[in-house]
């Protein structure tokens, strides 16, 4: 599976309606100037300008138009409210930001075909870009308060996927095999990434994702290691205080093979099934023939034996 970072961005640059006055400029320099009556009047003028800009379309007209665009695009969103953003500069199509009941909001463009942009995906793209470059231009973003808090929406997704931890951070983090990928951070515990597939939610613990080379933004390495207590429960390795882990690959039975180093004593190879619990474990001292033996744990030659 290949993880793709977000690439979609709204392809629109918003222009206010043509009857909106532009800021006053200085005749000599051409630069915008503050109203000569003082900052208070300047702020009032800005507020009036924004009011006229949004007032070009009433709230009910905006809600109805945004609902029509989303319905035409095949997106299941019951629009709670919407605001008119302006017209696109390229073809003067009206654009809106919509709040959806129980789901992510959208920026939509009433074009043919319609254009829609998931607010959570746009925010995830922006976070990725800022992680690379704090000064990056992140493009069009959703600005309504309800569309700027991913926690309620993604927490609901986590519950649908069977995750019952205390979610303290959440967001969209990219795409996996073309499907939108979300991440939840759990308070003092390992988090999860959620893939939204046609068959439903697929949850993947962050400890497993990080050992595959992926990155979990909202889970610490210490929280990753804590997860091994549940993975190894009920096996001979249950007492292992995992300090380090690595993934070797997949065995002939389709089980994921990992090596873990314990805080004290011998390490183990663990064969882990689809439920992310160990089906079998092998002590390093008795498994020198598996994948060339353990590399995280040093096995004394005298103690090394072959597994029968």
> Can you give the residue ranges of every domain in the chain?
20-55, 150-225, 227-286
Q: Which of 52-56, 72-76, 216-220 has the lowest mean pLDDT?
A: 52-56
pTM of the model: 0.75
- Rounded Cα–Cα distance for residues 152 and 173 (Å): 16
At 301 the pLDDT is 55
> Tens digit of pLDDT for each residue in 273-294?
999 999 999 999 999 888 889 9
pLDDT, residue 6, reads 39
Count of C-beta atoms within a 10 Å radius of residue 281: 20
Going by C-alpha positions, the residue among 93, 75, 74, 73 that lies closest to residue 84 is 93
Contact 242, 261 (CB under 8 A): yes
34-38, 55-59, 61-65, 83-87: segment of lowest average pLDDT: 34-38
pLDDT of residue 56: 73
Q: What is the pLDDT of residues 145-200, one digit of tens each?
A: 999 999 999 999 999 999 999 999 999 999 888 899 999 999 999 999 999 888 89
Enumerate the β-bridge partners of residue 87. Answer: 15, 94
Q: Which of 20-29, 70-79, 299-308 has the highest mean pLDDT?
A: 70-79
- pLDDT tens for residues 38-49? 333 333 333 334
The number of residues making up the chain comes to 308
For residues 77 and 60, is the Cβ–Cβ distance under 8 A?
Answer: no
Look at residue 291 in the predicted model and tell me its pLDDT: 85
């Amino acid at each position: 599976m290949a993880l793709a970072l977000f690439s979609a961005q709204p392809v629109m640059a918003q222009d206010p309606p043509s009857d909106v006055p532009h800021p006053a400029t200085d005749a000599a320099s051409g630069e915008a100037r503050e109203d000569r009556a003082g900052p208070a009047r300047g702020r009032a003028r800005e507020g009036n300008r924004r009011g006229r800009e949004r007032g070009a379309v009433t709230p009910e007209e905006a809600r109805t138009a945004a609902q029509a665009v989303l319905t035409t695009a095949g997106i299941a969103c019951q629009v709670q409210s919407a605001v008119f953003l302006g017209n696109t500069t390229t073809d003067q199509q009206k654009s809106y930001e919509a709040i959806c009941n129980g789901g992510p909001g959208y920026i939509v463009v009433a074009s043919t075909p319609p254009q829609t942009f998931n607010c959570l995906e746009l925010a995830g793209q922006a976070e990725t870009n800022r992680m690379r470059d704090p000064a990056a231009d992140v493009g069009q973003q959703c600005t309504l308060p309800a569309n700027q808090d991913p926690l309620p929406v993604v927490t609901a997704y986590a519950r649908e996927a069977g995750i019952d931890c205390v979610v303290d951070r959440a967001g969209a983090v990219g795409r996996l095999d073309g499907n939108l990928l979300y991440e939840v951070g759990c308070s003092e515990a390992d988090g999860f990434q959620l893939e939204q597939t046609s068959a439903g939610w697929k949850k993947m613990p962050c400890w497993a994702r990080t050992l595959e080379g992926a990155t979990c933004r909202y889970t610490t390495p210490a929280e990753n290691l804590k997860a091994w207590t549940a993975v190894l429960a009920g096996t001979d390795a249950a007492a292992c205080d995992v300090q380090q882990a690595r993934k070797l690959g997949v065995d002939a039975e389709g089980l994921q093979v990992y090596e873990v180093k314990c805080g004290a004593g011998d390490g183990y190879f663990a064969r882990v099934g689809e439920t992310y619990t160990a089906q079998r474990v092998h002590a390093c001292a008795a498994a020198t023939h598996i994948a060339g033996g353990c590399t995280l744990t040093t096995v004394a030659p005298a103690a090394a034996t072959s597994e029968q």
